[in-house]
Amino acid sequence: MRPAPERRAILAAMGRQLASRGPDDEQTYDDGVLSLVFRRLSIVDVAGGRQPLWNERRSAFVAMNGEIWNHAALRETLRGTHALATRSDAEVVIHLFEDEGPRLLDRLNGMFALAVWDREAERLLLARDRLGIKPLYYAWTPGGLLFGSELKALLVHPDCPAELRFHDLDLGYLGGATYTGFSGSHVPSFVEGIDLLPGGTYLDAAPGRRPAPQTYWSLEPAIARAIEAPPRPAAAYAEDYAALLVDAVRGQLMSDVPVGAFLSGGLDSSLLCAVAAKQGQVLPCFSVVERTTVDAGDVARARRLTEALDLPFYPVSYDHEGFAEQIGFSLASLESFVWMMDAPRFTPELLFKHELHRYAKTVVPDLKAMLLGQGADEFAGGYSTPRGAPVADWDGYVARLSPSPPAQLVARGVSEPMRALVRPEALAVEGSAGAGAPFHREMRRRLLTLQALNLWNEDRIAAVQGVEARVPYLDHRLVEHLAAIPPALHRELFWDKAIVRRAAAGFLPDEIVHAPKVPFWLSGDASSIHAIMIDCARRCFPAFLEAYLGHPDSLFSASALIAVYARTRSRAPGRVDAAKLLLACMTAAIFARLCRDLRRDALAIRPMGPPSPLGRASW
């Protein structure tokens, strides 16, 4: 046990790493068994909701990052048996814990990473929401259990592991259209000995005990209903989806501070804005105006929608000619991105969305929550009609989803001589990505990729600006509803995301309801995006060469990366791939040094906050 002054100093250092995520308040707790620092982003009960929040006897408390959307209904069930001291949504958690223990998690509808401490029993409950929207890291060390909302907060602790996990560096995207990828079987932390608590699980820990995560939620019961229950008419599923979405949006408008929306002009974000507007919510809407989004028609649709709904519209200009110079992109910027992301990761989507959040905080400084269309595609067939690699029909899409028998056998470790003899279906296990109907397998896979990429990215780029990313399409009731649709109706409801389009028909004009699915920035000619990324790589490398290469601890060969850098400056077709490789190596080297030096305060990394250098586009 470290002396109390040393524990306080460690908590202060950990708190500094979380200051962007929780800029409004800092509280510490230390009883000699549990030491905790909490940084708050004040959204609900701004004046009275300071955390940790205690029970009546002050024998247990909760500290929570996130929101409980159904807290008002839960509060009604607690009246008469508990004295509620605040209006905070988090307070219901501690009283439910007193009554039900970990079973309380079944009662919550929300996005959260939470810690409940029962100091009398010396019992710690760590839990993460069902879909893994909010992050929660943990590491077992000789000194005990470390946990936190961000990797960087753990890395400053003297006992924290700090070795780069090379296995987590997935570079399978090199040579493709994107700047990131994920093909693994677990959500990476990129550090040996550190894990992310999976969505839908909890840890019930105590001194001297190292439990494994326990699952409290999965898709399997909903998938079982899809297989076992008699199907209803397709229209009934579509109607229920629309009703659930309206209720999810209503719940996620909960706030005592301004809420905004990212409006791409596509189906998903447009539907959220229209549903919110119908409930009387005036959301400031922010849109990326770049050549790719203009060519796709997104910006024009976004403008027309905000005019029809009478919503404030902020089209933000991204000019690929000089964009990196305009935002002052440098090695310090790339280091800030790696620190922000808790990962060796830098992509066009991250850059654009980061700058959109930055602009939003500049023009609406009090804004603290943002509605996003993230998660609408994964469980509703949104990737069934991919741009650039079209398929003719649902059967063609499903055929792409089904791994070839050898791939299934390799994944299960079947050796070459046996592969011609083994029936692949005999090795599928319930709940595995290989079991069940093809689109149910895809749903299971998407649960993992959401946590490894999409939700990770949205959370970090919002949190660094003191903004909470909200994703109504990932209300677990919506996800379960989609998973419970019988396979016989998948073609009718999931081909080209038909179920979402049917829901949208009651809220949006036909031009948006029937707009084609266009991935963000990957709309046809992406040369302007690649030009921005090449420029960013070139601007960073000279300073990177001096700071990170040619030293005893250098991760990469200086001569090898100089050769890659030279390819980015050529006119040959391979310069885009060279820029991707160069950025991958630079972010990996920065991340490795961050892991090693962050605890020594040897890195002076500053987030790129307001004011934004970008301007409003003339749309």
In 3D, which of 478, 480, 471, 431 has the Cα closest to residue 451? 471
Determine the pLDDT at residue 315: 97
The pLDDT score that the predictor gives to residue 420 is: 64
- At 604 the pLDDT is 73
Q: Which CATH number fits domain 4-215: 3.20.20.450, 3.60.20.10, 3.40.630.40, 1.20.810.10?
A: 3.60.20.10
Per-residue pLDDT at 430: 44
Q: Give the model confidence (pLDDT) of 206-258 as tens digits.
A: 998 899 999 999 999 999 999 999 999 999 999 999 999 999 999 999 999 99
**Region for 466 from its dihedrals, namely left if φ exceeds 0, alpha if ψ lies in -120 to 50, beta otherwise:** left
CB atoms closer than 10 angstroms to residue 250: 16
pLDDT at 111: 98
pLDDT at 226: 96
**pLDDT for residue 606:** 85
**Distance of alpha carbon 535 from alpha carbon 525, whole angstroms:** 18
Is 89 marked as a binding-site residue? yes
The pLDDT value given to residue 527: 87
Residue 431, pLDDT score: 45
Looking at 134-244, which runs of residues are DSSP E strands? 137-141, 144-148, 195-196, 201-205, 214-215
pTM for this predicted structure: 0.93
Residues of the chain below pLDDT 70: 387-389, 402-421, 423-435, 520-524, 601-603
| Cα dist from 417 to 118, 254, 406, 421, 423, whole Å | 55, 59, 12, 8, 13
So what's the architecture of 231-378+452-513 in CATH?
Answer: 3-Layer(aba) Sandwich (3.40)
Domain layout of the chain by residue ranges: 4-215, 231-378+452-513, 527-600
Q: What is the pLDDT of residues 399-452, one digit of tens each?
A: 888 665 555 555 556 666 666 667 655 655 444 444 579 999 999 999 999 999
Question: How far is it, in rounded angstroms, from Cα 349 to Cα 77?
Answer: 43
Residue 602: what pLDDT? 55
